[in-house]
Chains A and B, each alone.
Chain A
């Protein structure tokens, strides 16, 4: 508890924790089982400070489990996970903010209060928390919707508020669990653009779990392809143009298409090149 509190203090003193190096993630020899069920096996992954690591894999490959392990919500059966040098669960928890697959906005709170939730949990007054959430809120195009209840927002806007809630937590590491899975194709494309923009202006170390190879390749610096259970890395590739300002150009570039083909082949279980 004290260790956690002091880690916060560090995060609080550094307004933009990731700007100067920030937290990297190192995963070594990781395996995790639930009883007899082996969820993850023999994983080695790394994300440099401020880099986005994309994870794609079939349903049930343990991607969500991996996020929970990184977040310090559980301890792995074997192996090591380090977030910014912290190996223990409490330390990792203090460094990570988690965005669940469904937005899980609290329906009784206004949009701005949902975005400011982490600050309120830390004891920041309501007014101060709203004030601190206001600038990123407007940057994501939500100005004017501060007082709206989640039920009054569109699916795309709800995801933006959910992302803001993660961002405003002011943690160096963001863990995004299929953040746009519930959106239609057009809204998802827009969502990838605003997320790319947000990470360009306010870089954080991100682990992005998704079903969508294109989404992973556009938003990430490196993409790891996982096999079905037990999840293992079957291929790892560098993205050609991470978070490029012109998404349409980026995703139609031949290098991008080649990378996408390779990732798709790895996903389908063909041997990687």
Chain B
């Protein structure tokens, strides 16, 4: 309870300040723009309510992309980490590449992904999954190999097979780090989905990224902020769900 108190007060204070600055026209004056380009939190809130059907439909598209892409990224990341742990050759060949490849801005490949995978949900899933893959794969692998070598030796004298050592010792001890990777992935996934939609704007398919892009062109600033606010809420919920899952599963910490 205490943990939430201060951030909540800070957030309320910032929104209040924004509200006063925007409704008094000070914000628009400061930015030297028309009033409608600097909407107040109240205007954004009423825009969410007025456009609730449109926003809900588009949010649903984005949520599907985020959740499916996240799930694919998690599955692939975990499988990759296990494969690298089981095969030393694979680890030596691929681990440096994986770490180095985190420097590649995957986002910039979005246009070519569109060309490869079409304008449907496909390229968005690929972008989200790729973004989620790296933190999960690297963190899980680091967790798997941080296991105490003494524990492995002990397990071998207790007749454990390689799989049993992996399943009974390495996997549980890697879980906290795997969850750290998942939390990082959860914060990136919504941004990745929006970017996929942004680049591959498909007005028929929709998505919050499409709404944001159109509204910024139409100078529908309040609705643009409304879509962004909903996206933030989705990101927070996903992060919260990952944290909740960690607390339910990693009970020994």
Contacts from A to B (Cβ < 8 Å): 8, 68, 71, 73, 93-94, 96-102, 104, 106-108, 117-118, 120-122, 149, 151, 165, 169, 171, 175
A108 and B172 contact, Cβ closer than 8 Å, known pairs A121-B164, A151-B252: yes
B153 vs chain A, min Cβ distance (A): 5
Quick one: CB contact mask for B165-179 with A, threshold 8 Å, 1 for yes? Answer: 000110010000000
Once the chains bind, are B172 and A68 in contact (CB under 8 Å)? no
CB within 8 Å of A: which B133-162 residues: 148, 150-151, 153-161
Chain B: CB-nearest residue to A104: B151
Quick one: closest A residue to B252, CB to CB?
Answer: A107
Supposing A104-B148, A151-B252 touch, asked if A71 and B157 sit within 8 A by C-beta, the answer is: yes
- B203 at interface (Cβ–Cβ under 8 A)? no
Q: B8 in the interface, Cβ–Cβ < 8 Å?
A: no
Residues of chain B within 8 A (CB-CB) of A171 are: 157
Whether the Cβ atoms of B153 and A68 lie closer than 8 Å is yes
Interface centre among A68, A121, A175 (most CB of B within 10 A): A121
Decide if A121 touches B151 in the complex (CB within 8 Å).
Answer: no
Residue numbers in A under 8 Å from B253 (CB-CB): 107
Q: Does B89 contact A (CB under 8 A)?
A: no
Q: How far is the CA of A97 from the CA of B251 in the complex (A)?
A: 29
Query: B94-130 toward A: CB 8 Å interface, digit per residue (1/0)?
Result: 0000000000000000000000000000000000000
Find out whether the CB atom of A117 lies under 8 angstroms from the CB atom of B252: no
Chain B residues near A (Cβ < 8 Å) = 148, 150-151, 153-161, 164, 168-169, 172, 251-253
Distance in angstroms between the alpha carbons of A13 and B160 in the assembled complex: 19
Q: How far is the CA of A171 from the CA of B252 in the complex (A)?
A: 30
Q: Contact at A93–B252, with CB atoms within 8 Å?
A: no
A171 to B150, CA, bound (A): 19
Q: Can you offer 27 A-B residue contacts whose CB atoms are under 8 A? A: A8-B159, A68-B153, A71-B153, A71-B157, A93-B156, A94-B159, A96-B157, A98-B157, A98-B158, A100-B150, A102-B148, A104-B150, A104-B154, A106-B172, A107-B252, A108-B172, A117-B155, A118-B158, A120-B168, A121-B155, A121-B160, A121-B161, A121-B164, A121-B168, A151-B252, A169-B157, A171-B157
Q: Specify which chain A residues have a CB less than 8 angstroms from the CB of B160 in the assembled complex.
A: 121
> A104 CA to B173 CA in the complex, in Å?
12
For the complex, what is the distance from the CA of A112 to the CA of B148, rounded to whole Å? Answer: 22
- What's the Cα separation between A118 and B157 when bound, in Å? 8
Interfacial chain A residues near B158, Cβ < 8 Å: 97-98, 117-118, 121, 165, 169
Contact status B150-A101, CB under 8 Å: yes
Tell me, in angstroms, the Cα distance from A165 to B157 when the chains sit together.
Answer: 11
Q: In the complex, what residues of B have CB within 8 A of residue A169's CB?
A: 157-159
Find chain B residues with CB under 8 A from A104 CB.
148, 150-151, 154
A149 touches B252 (CB 8 A): yes
CA distance A122 to B159 in the complex (A): 7
- Residues in B whose Cβ lies below 8 Å from that of A107: 252-253
Rounded to whole angstroms, the CA-CA distance of A122 and B160 in the bound complex is: 7
Of listed B157, B172, B253, residue having the most chain A CB within 10 A: B157
**Complex partner residue of A99 from B154, B155, B172, CB under 8 angstroms:** B154
A128 CB → nearest B CB, Å: 16
Q: Quick check: A73 and B151 within 8 Å, CB to CB?
A: no
CA A102 to CA B153, docked complex, whole Å: 13
Q: CA A175 – CA B172 in complex, angstroms?
A: 26
Given A106-B169, A118-B159, A175-B157, 10 additional A-B pairs, CB 8 A: A68-B153, A97-B158, A98-B158, A102-B148, A106-B172, A117-B158, A117-B168, A118-B158, A151-B252, A169-B157
In the bound assembly, the distance between CA atoms of A117 and B155 in angstroms comes to 9
Complex Cα gap A99–B151 (Å): 10
Residues of B within 8 A of A97 (CB): 157-158
Which residue of B has the minimal Cβ distance to A171?
A: B157
Q: Report the minimum CB–CB distance from A182 to chain B (whole Å).
A: 13
